[in-house]
Amino acid sequence: MHGLFARLLPLGAAAALFLAPAFAADESFDRGTHGVIELETGDTAGIAGQIAADLAALLDDGATRRVVPVLGDGALQNIVDLKLLHGIDAAIVEADALDYARQQKLIAGVESLTYIARLYNEEFHLLARADIKTVADLAGKTVNVGPPTGSTQVTAQKFFAALGVAVTMTSDPTDVALAKLAHGDIDAVALVAAKPAPLLRAADAPGLHFLSVPLKAPLTQTYAPTRLTAKDYPGLIGEDAPVDTIAVGTVLMAANLQQGSERYRNLVNFTEALFTQFPTLIEPGHNAKWREVNLAADLPGWHRFAPAEQWLAQNAPVAQQQNVVPQDMKAVFERFLDERLKAMGSDMSQQQKDELFGQFERWQTQAASTGTR
């Protein structure tokens, strides 16, 4: 009896008989695990689900490949699932959560996990009540950082520790926390999410505003500086008042699969197809965050999935052409330059900044091609 037809019997004989001919006519429908990749993503409020949907739309070919997104329960839980849960082949997680899992020995052998590619950045948001003007004002206050399995709690712990600000952390889901913030029950809500985060964009309680993040050395050693703008959150940020914050990198991780197994071959197939077809993902119609991805970028302290490393080695010219400078990279570069010039008591014209950025781009391209970056 056809496998799917047999599983339909509990639905009733009539339903089974009605649907069986369609299944029988298309044997490709019953292909078991051939070519299937189960990709664990973030929660429903995050961007990872959209990224997984883009991958599925691009890479599913109806015969040799199928991407099945699986809703995860936060970065730390995704790491545990990737190591222990049978069936999960890959997962999208935040880079600082990976390091935290290793440092805290969250699970035995976590350091043996490999990465396929670094992906996009997610921004650290700190939304506060009107009377909270700076991060320092949160000392002794209550800040919601989301569930213990999520990446926000990891980043928030590092963030407040680096700045020496002691806060009381709560673990409500973000939508619940925003309601509490609006009613004055808590003082701020932290969230690591790709901008613009729909939940935050919809926040409209009077006086709510984002706090600017002081770019202290302990933070810039781990996180990249970035900004939230009025374009991201028109109801919360003024046109000429961008908010400084930090960016948290995300990573596509691979499960430890036995070489030569069907799941391993499926993951190799998926990886090669992703790298080969990646230029399509930065075209209009896909999530804008794909334009932040550089497939050749390394993840310090972690090993790359061997087939991904081999693809990059064999296709260096292609990988170099796929290297895309993030949309806000120039703004970040100029901001970095402005801060350094200010510290040195010097100045530079916009033309000089443009020329220096051009040199930076040329250095970046050369470093990527020679592997010296």
Q: What percent of the chain has pLDDT over 70?
A: 75
β-pairing, 243-254 vs 90-94, is: antiparallel
**Does one domain contain both 75 and 111?**
yes
pLDDT value of residue 345: 62
pLDDT value of residue 360: 60
Residue pair 80/97 in contact (Cβ under 8 Å)? The answer is no
The C-alpha torsion from 54 through 60 and 61 to 65, rounded to 10°, is: 150
**Does one domain contain both 16 and 98?**
yes
**Does one domain contain both 126 and 228?**
yes
124-133 pLDDT tens trace:
999 999 999 9
Q: Considering 211, 232, 248, which residue would you say is the last residue of a domain?
A: 248
pLDDT value of residue 333: 64
12-37 pLDDT tens trace:
333 333 333 433 334 444 445 678 99
**Does one domain contain both 173 and 73?**
no
Give me the long-range contacts of 76-81 (CB less than 8 A, separation at least 24): 76/100, 76/101, 76/106, 76/148, 76/149, 76/150, 76/151, 76/154, 77/149, 78/40, 78/42, 79/106, 79/107, 79/110, 79/113, 79/253, 80/106, 80/107, 81/40
Q: How far apart are CA 91 and CA 110, in angstroms?
A: 13
Closest by alpha carbon to 226, among 245, 209, 207, 203? 245
pLDDT value of residue 352: 67
Q: Considering 213, 248, 283, which residue would you say is the last residue of a domain?
A: 248
**Does one domain contain both 135 and 83?**
no
325-364 pLDDT tens trace:
444 556 666 666 666 566 556 666 766 666 666 666 555 4
**Does one domain contain both 139 and 278?**
no
**Does one domain contain both 141 and 229?**
yes
Around Cβ 232, how many Cβ atoms within 10 Å?
A: 19
Report the domain count for the chain: 3
Instruction: Using alpha carbons, list the distances in angstroms from residue 312 to 113, 117, 249, 281.
Output: 19, 11, 20, 18
Domain that holds residue 128: 122-248
| Amino acid letter for position 220 | T
**Does one domain contain both 81 and 99?**
yes
pLDDT value of residue 47: 87
The C-alpha torsion from 279 through 284 and 285 to 290, rounded to 10°, is: 50
**Does one domain contain both 292 and 344?**
no
Residue 257, token pair as written in the block: 């699969």
Q: Which parts of the chain register pLDDT below 70?
A: 1-33, 44-45, 317-348, 350-373
**Does one domain contain both 255 and 237?**
no
**Does one domain contain both 95 and 145?**
no
pLDDT value of residue 15: 38
Around Cβ 111, how many Cβ atoms within 10 Å?
A: 14
CB within 8 A of 305, min separation 6: which ones? 114, 115, 116, 254, 267, 271
**Does one domain contain both 147 and 163?**
yes
pLDDT value of residue 217: 76
Find the CATH number of the domain harbouring 313. 3.40.190.10
